[in-house]
Chain A
Amino acid sequence: MTSNYRLSQLDTLEAEAIHIFREVAAEMQRPCLLFSGGKDSIVMLRLAEKAFAPAPIPFPVMHVDTGHNFPEVLEFRDKRVAELGVQLIVASVQEGIDKGLVREEPNGSRNRIQTPVLLDAAEKHKFDALFGGARRDEEKARAKERVFSFRDEFGQWDPKAQRPELWSLYNGRVHLGESIRVFPLSNWTELDIWQYIEREAIEIPSIYFAHRREVFLRDGMVFAANEFAVPRDGEDVFTATVRYRTVGDATLTAAVRSEADTLPKIIEEIAVTRLTERGATRGDDKVSDSAMEDRKREGYF
C-alpha cells in the first residue's frame, strides 16, 4: 500500500477477493470452499481467513479426493485445516466407485469422474455455493466464466445463459437445488498467485519446489514414477531435478524440469516461462480444443 490513494495490483486483487468471500457469506445459505491442497486453494483459504478475521471462517472446506494424491499434499491439507480449525469434508472418488456412482475410466485417470462425486457431495450437504480457485488466465473457456457462475440442479454450466455481471454486484439468487460456483481468484494470474504467496509468506507443499525425483517421459511431459504413474515399456526411469507447477490427479499431473527451489526463483521462472501451467503439466486438457468447456458443462470446476 502506498500513499496518494493508489493500491498495488496485489492489494487490489486481495480486496476484490475478500469482497467476494464476504458477499457469499452474507447472501448464500450454505457455502463451502473446495480445498485440494494445491497452491490456488491455499491462497483461497488464506483470503477466506483474512475476509472474516478475527472471526473464524464461517463455512466448511471440502476435498474431492481422487485417491491419486501426492502424500506431501495430503499431509499439508490436514495440517492447514487443523491450524484454522475449519471443518473438513472429504468426498472420496474411491467410495463413489465402490458405491457404483461412477466407473473407473480405462486410462485410470479420475479427473473426469470426480465431477459426479463432487456433485453428489454438494447435494448431500445442500451446498448452494461452492468456492473454487479457478483463474480466467488458465484456459480459454474459463476466460469467459463469471465470478458467480450459475449451475442448474444438475451442476451444469451453460456458457450461453450466463448472467451478466456488472460492477461488483453479484447475483447469487438460486432456486432449491441450483447453486453458484464462486471464483474469487478470477482476475489473478499464475504470477499474481506466486507473488502473493511470497508476500504473505504462505506455506505451500514441498513438491512445488525443485527436488530430485525418479521420473519418466510420456507425451513429452515429465511424470513421477510412482504407484499412480507406472512407466510402460520403453519409458525409461531416470532421476531429474523437477518441481510441480500444478497439483492434480497424480496420474495426469506432470512435473517440470526446474532448479527453482525458493519462491524468488519460482517467481523468476514463471515471469519468463513461455508455456501455460496447464499446457505444461496437464494431460487432461490436451484431449481437444473444448476439453475444459465440455468438463465444465458437466459440472467440473
Chain B
Amino acid sequence: MGHDMDMLRFATAGSVDDGKSTLIGRLLYDSKAIFTDQLDAVEKTSRDRGDEYTNLALLTDGLRAEREQGITIDVAYRYFATPKRKFIIADTPGHIQYTRNMVTGASTADLAIVLVDARKGLVEQSRRHAFLVTLLRVPHLVLAVNKMDLVNHSQERFEEIKDEFTAFAAKLDIPDLTVIPISALHGDNIVTRSENMPWYDGQSLLHHLENVHVASDRNLVDVRFPVQYVVRPQSATHHDYRGYAGTVAGGVMKPGDEVMILPSGFTTRIEAIDTADGPVDEAFPPMSVVVRLADELDVSRGDMICRPHNAPHAAQDVEAMICWMDEQARIEPGRKYALKHTTRNVRAVVRDIQYRLDVNTLHRDEAPGHLALNEIGRITLRTTQPLFVDEYRRNRSTGGFILVDEGTNRTVAAGIVVQAA
C-alpha cells in the first residue's frame, strides 16, 4: 500500500431499513476492513439475540444502549482503505430525531451517500437528508437506489426514482449528483459493475468513491489563515523567532506574498512558511504550518491573515442558518451565547429568528419565536467583537461557527453564515 494515497471523508444517510448498515458492512467486508475477531463477536452476539442472520449493524452500534434498543444513537466513524484511497465513513443514524448527528457527520464530509429503498422510492427522510447535505455544502452527493434485486433490477423503476429526485434536487443547488442502482446485500454495483443491470452504464459505487475529484473542492482562491497559536521559543538558538501557527483555511500562501492582518489592517509580507520538517514553498488547505512575517506586528490568536485586496467580511452582524442541537434549552431572541468561529471566541446575542424551515417541504414558518432540538432556521446575531467571515457557500471553514451555552458549556448549535454586514 503506497504512502501517496489521499483521503475521502464521506457520510452515509438513510432511513430505517434502507440497508445502510448492510452497505457499510459490504464496503468494509469487500475492502477487508472487517476483522475476523470482529465478525466472530458480531456472529456470537447475533446468535445470542436470536437474530436470523448475522446483523452487520452490530459492527457499528458501539454503545450498549444502541445494541439493547437496536438503534443507532450517535455518529460512528469507520475506516477502510483501497490501494487508491483511505476512506473515513461518518455513519449517521437516519431516525427523525437525529438531524443533529447528520449535520455533525456532514460538516466534515467531502461526499454523502443518501440511500433509498427501490421499492419505496423517495420518502420524507430522503428529502431531509438531501437537504441537510446541501445545507452543509457537502460537495458531492450520491443517491444510492438500494434493493434493486427486489424490483427485478428494473431500469424503469430506477429511472422513475432518479427523475423524481432530480426534480426535487433542482430546488436545492446540489453541486455534483450521481445516482447509482445497487444491491448492498448481493454486492451489485458496489465494487464492480453488476451483470444484473446491463442497462446501467455508470460506475460502481466504490469506483466512484475512489475517483471522485475532491482536491478542488477546497477554496484555493481566497487566502484565509486564522492565527491559532503564537510560536515563540525564547531560546538561545531561536531568540528572535516569532511565528504564527495555524491551519490554512483558504487560498494558497507563498513566501513573499503581501498580506493583511485583521483586525489591525496592517499589511506586510510573508517572510517564510515553516513546518517542523523545514520551510515550504507554498501552503494550502488543510495544511498546518507556521507563518513568519517580514515586519514585527502585534498579531495574536484569533487574528486573520488574508490578502490586502481579498479580505473576509469583518462583521458584528451575522445572518446565519442554524441547526439547534440542545435537548434542554431552546434558542430565543435576546439569548446570549459563546460563539466559536475559526480560532476566535466571542459572545453573541440573538437579535431575531426570521424563520423556521420545514426540512421536508422547505416551507418557511415566519417569526417562529424560538427553535427547538433538531430544528433549522435563519437567525440574526450580533457579536461583541467582529468576526472575519465568508459566506459558508464560499468557504466552509470561515463560514461555519458553533454556539456554546455559557452556563452548561454544551455545544448547542451549528451555524452557517449566509450573509455578513
B411, A8: Cβ atoms closer than 8 Å? no
Q: Which residues of A contact B238 (CB under 8 A)?
A: 54-55
Binary interface encoding of chain A residues 4-17 relative to chain B, with 1 for a CB under 8 A from any of its CBs, else 0:
11111111111110
Chain A residues contacting B81 (CB-CB under 8 Å) are 9, 189, 191
Contacts of A189 in B (CB 8 A): 79, 81, 86
A279 pairs with B35, CB closer than 8 A: yes
A33 to B154, CA, bound (A): 57
Are A171 and B411 in contact (CB-based, < 8 A)?
yes
Report the Cα distance A178→B126, complex, angstroms.
40
Cβ-defined contact, A280 with B37, below 8 A = yes
Instruction: Pick the most buried of B35, B59, B62: most chain A CB atoms within 10 A of its CB.
Output: B62
In the complex, chain A residues 33-86 whose Cβ is within 8 Å of any chain B Cβ: 49-56
Query: How far is A10 from B86 in the complex, measured between Cα atoms in Å?
Result: 10
Q: Is the CB of B78 within 8 A of A274?
A: no
CB distance from B222 to the nearest CB of A (A): 14
**Contact B35 A169, beta carbon cutoff 8 Å:** no
Contacts of B411 in A (CB 8 A): 163-166, 171
| Shortest distance between the CB of B352 and any CB in chain A (Å) | 23
Verify if A23 is at the interface (C-beta below 8 Å from B): yes
Measured between beta carbons, the chain A residues less than 8 angstroms from B237 are 54
- Asked whether any CB of chain A lies closer than 8 Å to the CB of B215, the reply is yes
CA distance A192 to B234 in the complex (A): 34
Given contacts A5-B284, A162-B74, A163-B410, contact A293 B62 (CB under 8 A): yes
Mask of B219-257 contacts with A, CB within 8 angstroms, 1/0: 010000000110111110110010001110000100000
B363 contacts A by Cβ under 8 Å:
no
Which residues of chain B from 22 to 69 have any CB-CB distance to chain A below 8 Å in the complex? 32, 35-38, 41, 45, 59-65, 67
Count B-side interface residues using an 8 Å CB cutoff: 82
- Count A interface residues, CB 8 Å: 69
Which residue of the partner chain, among A8, A15, A142, A169, contacts B402 with CB atoms under 8 Å?
A169
- Tell whether, in the assembled complex, residue B231 and residue A144 are in contact, meaning their CB atoms are under 8 Å apart: no
Residue of B nearest to A24 (CB): B229
Stretch at the interface among B2-10, B182-190, B201-209, B378-386: B2-10
Q: Is the CB of A140 within 8 A of B61?
A: yes
Partner of A9, one of B5, B41, B401, B409: B5
A4: contacting residue among B104, B215, B247, CB under 8 A: B215
Apart from A22-B246, A143-B78, list 8 A-B contacts with CB within 8 A.
Answer: A9-B81, A55-B233, A56-B233, A159-B63, A160-B73, A167-B397, A189-B81, A191-B1
